Structure 1
Amino acid sequence: MKKILFLQENDRKEVLNEINANLETKNRLLKLILLNPDKKVSKNITREKQFRYENQIALLERIKGMVITCNSRQQINEINKLIEYYQSLS
């Protein structure tokens, strides 16, 4: 995900599509971990992955909500800070 400079209607749709695609991917990965535990990987590593994906999903949901309701430059800056944090988690 890239930082947001402006958030007009077209930009908002693009950002929401990108967020939804990331959410879909993270949810699939989390589902895979939960439904198909890997016998070769330790439980600690599995828990770490699960925790990381859950955090990323929660963060993406928060960004999505902020993008939907965003109407000021200050909110765009807050969204950009969350995007930076999300990128640091990946």
Structure 2
Amino acid sequence: MNKILFFTDKEKQSLIDEINNQLKIKNHLLKVLYENKRHKLKDYERNKLANKYKDQIILLDNMKGCCNTVKNRDDIHRLNSIIEFYNKLQS
């Protein structure tokens, strides 16, 4: 996910669409972790991965809420900070 420089209605909608897409993916992956008992991960690995997905879902929800309240450069900076942290969790 890229940082935001300008936040017009077009960029806002594009970012919200991307966030919704990522939320679908992370929720699906989390569901697979909990429902699939035949995976080859050890319990601690599965729990670590589940916690990572949960953290990412929380950050995505925060980003989505932030998108709806952006009014000035400080809000954009805060949104970029969340995006940066989310990207660190991705890797």
Q: Shorter-chain TM-score: which interval?
A: over 0.9
Structure 2 residue aligned with 1:89:
89
Runs of at least 4 residues off by over 3 Å: none
Aligned counterparts of 1:40 and 1:29: Cα–Cα separation in 2 = 15
After TM superposition, the score normalised by the length of structure 2 is 0.95
**Unaligned 5+ runs, structure 2:** none
Structure 1 residue aligned with 2:19:
19
Matches within 5 A, 1:1-90: 1-90=1-90
Task: Give aligned pairs, total.
Answer: 90
Aligned counterparts of 1:54 and 1:39: Cα–Cα separation in 2 = 19
After TM superposition, the score normalised by the length of structure 1 is 0.96
CA RMSD of aligned residues (A): 0.9
Distance 1:41 1:26, change over 3 A: same
Shift of 1:69: 1.2
Shift of 1:41: 1.5
